[in-house]
Amino acid sequence: MIDLDFDRKHLWHPYTSLQEPLPVYPVVGAAGVHLHLENGTKLVDGMSSWWSAIHGYRHPVLDAAIKEQLGRVAHVMFGGITHEPAVELGKLLVELTPAGLDKVFFCDSGSVSVEVAIKMALQYWISKGQSSKSRLLTISKGYHGDTFAAMSVCDPVTGMHHLFNNVLLPQYFVPEPQIPFGRPCPAEELDTMRNMLVTHRHEIAAVILEPIVQGAGRMYFYSADYLQQVRQLCDEFEVLLIADEIATGFGRSGLMFACEHAGITPDILCVGKALTGGYMTLAATLCTSAVSSAISANGGVFMHGPTFMANPLACAAAVASIKLLCASPWQQHIAAIAAQLARELGPCLACHEVADVRVLGAIGVVEMHKPVNMADVQRFFVQRGVWIRPFGKLVYLMPPYIIGAAELSQLTAAIVAFTQTVSTQ
């Protein structure tokens, strides 16, 4: 039996208070798209373990890759040493990411990949003798991670600025895009960003944003035209563009990378989450040769080096996950998930407590007018045999790509039932 009393008293779960901890549900196993609780309950996972387990759980191909690598070497430092899984993974990332991103720096996690991206941008300008370019420009309602530089470019209202404002790096913010995905974006939508760049171009090192899909800060899908015009502004005003594809990379939005919707290549790209299929913690920061050449000029070295950088087990899992994805009809799977999400979440709009329903790729979002009670809504969903973890006003799904129509219907039916319950209260 899992000691839930010890867990409640001593283990600090994410975004919780130890004085008033939220209920936790003891998982003893997982397979396919199901989580198995200690009491025998089986839950359909609608979260892909925070958007990472795209192939589900206990996939035989990924299990075998980990076991095979374990028989060789589980971990070795990457300083002065290399190994086959890292090289093979690097080749795959250079091949699959937008053209021109041909340098790969392996990281421990998504937040660290953003830290690395920001450090790359700053060191790029330092190496070019323009150290005054030391600030970041970003769009509001973004989320880029919980470490300090990453926090500084998260939304200043819904993020953590109210707690850490005195110690966070000061950055520049412009309003979040309002034109939804699939619609043309007029140039005036970017007037504030243009004006910011006109005024502060000599201070701004890079623009950082989540391409197309604003994730944990907003769960909103914006116009690809907006992203195209941001790329043009960065070129015009000589600032770098950092694309945070930690949540969207590897097919989640319907294309392999969300940047492809706009046909652009950022100067620096962050990937993580689904990189290893949810098996191991691993991320990567890719950049163009122009960025790496400037940093490396005159014997310069990039000043970063995590202990578990390019961990062989994690790299082996990532290679297996990417090859598995590419060998599957993943775009057909994503299209089928999107169509079913749109069809089955649509009825939620009949509830007066629902503000919006939106779908892109394997992402379905029901936005409420008011924040939900996390403990109550979690209990509601578990009782219906599904694992859905909302936040704020957003009840959303990011299921594994392998999910079947019946399991997906179980998830959407639970959300529809929740909105109907709310409407009668």
Domain ranges (residues) in the chain: 4-59+329-424, 72-327
CATH number of this structure's domain 72-327, picked from the four choices 3.30.1650.10, 3.40.50.510, 3.40.640.10, 3.90.660.10: 3.40.640.10
* C-alpha 224 chain-centroid distance: 18
Q: What is the pLDDT of residues 24-51, one digit of tens each?
A: 999 999 999 999 999 999 999 999 999 9
Q: How far apart are CA 293 and CA 285, in angstroms?
A: 15
Domains 4-59+329-424 and 72-327 share a fold: no
Q: How far apart are CA 303 and CA 200, in angstroms?
A: 26
Split at pLDDT 50, 70, 90, the class of 307 is: very high
Mean pLDDT for 287-315 is 95
What does the DSSP assignment read for 19-58? SSPPP---EEEEEBTEEEETTS-EEEESSHHHHT-TT-BS
Q: What is the largest CA-CA distance in the chain?
A: 68
Catalytic option among 103, 108, 124, 143: 143
Decide if pLDDT at 260 tops 70: yes
| pLDDT number for residue 235 | 98
Q: What is the pLDDT of residues 158-195, one digit of tens each?
A: 777 678 888 888 999 999 999 999 999 999 999 999 99
Catalytic option among 141, 244, 279, 396: 244
| pLDDT number for residue 425 | 65
CB 53 within 8 A of CB 277: yes
Q: How far apart are CA 14 and CA 122, in angstroms?
A: 30
Phi and psi dihedrals of 242, rounded to 5? Answer: -105, 125
Partner residues linked to 200 by β-bridges: none
Q: How far apart are CA 261 and CA 276, in angstroms?
A: 23
Asked about 15 being catalytic, the answer comes back as: yes
Q: How far apart are CA 134 and CA 115, in angstroms?
A: 14
CB 234 within 8 A of CB 241: yes
Mean pLDDT for 280-286 is 98
| CA neighbor of 410 nearest in space, from 390, 392, 384 | 384
Query: Which has more pLDDT, 338 or 18?
Result: 338
Q: How far apart are CA 274 and CA 146, in angstroms?
A: 18
Catalytic option among 103, 133, 141, 273: 273
Mean pLDDT for 360-382 is 96
Q: What is the pLDDT of residues 205-253, one digit of tens each?
A: 999 999 999 999 999 999 999 999 999 999 999 999 999 999 999 999 9
| pLDDT number for residue 163 | 83
| pLDDT number for residue 384 | 98
Burial per residue of 67-77, b for 16 or more beta-carbon CB atoms within 10 angstroms, e otherwise = eebeeeeeeee
CATH H-level superfamily of 4-59+329-424: Aspartate Aminotransferase, domain 1 (3.90.1150.10)
Show Cβ contacts of residue 208 under 8 Å, excluding neighbours closer than 6 positions. 114, 117, 118, 136, 137, 138, 142, 144, 153, 242, 244
Asked about 273 being catalytic, the answer comes back as: yes
Asked about 143 being catalytic, the answer comes back as: yes
Q: What is the pLDDT of residues 409-425, one digit of tens each?
A: 999 999 999 999 986 66
Q: How far apart are CA 410 and CA 412, in angstroms?
A: 6
Mean pLDDT for 321-328 is 98
Can you state the percent helix, strand and coil of the chain, rounding each to 5?
Answer: 40, 20, 40
* C-alpha 247 chain-centroid distance: 2
Q: How far apart are CA 295 and CA 302, in angstroms?
A: 7
Distances (CA, A) of 300 to 55, 102, 295, 309: 40, 19, 6, 20
Within 10 angstroms of residue 125's Cβ, the number of other Cβ atoms is 21
Provide the whole-model pTM: 0.97
Burial class (CB in 10 A: 0-12, 13-18, 19+), 424: exposed
Mean pLDDT for 262-273 is 98
Identify residue 403 by its one-letter amino acid code.
I
Asked about 244 being catalytic, the answer comes back as: yes
Identify residue 299 by its one-letter amino acid code.
G
CB 290 within 8 A of CB 229: no
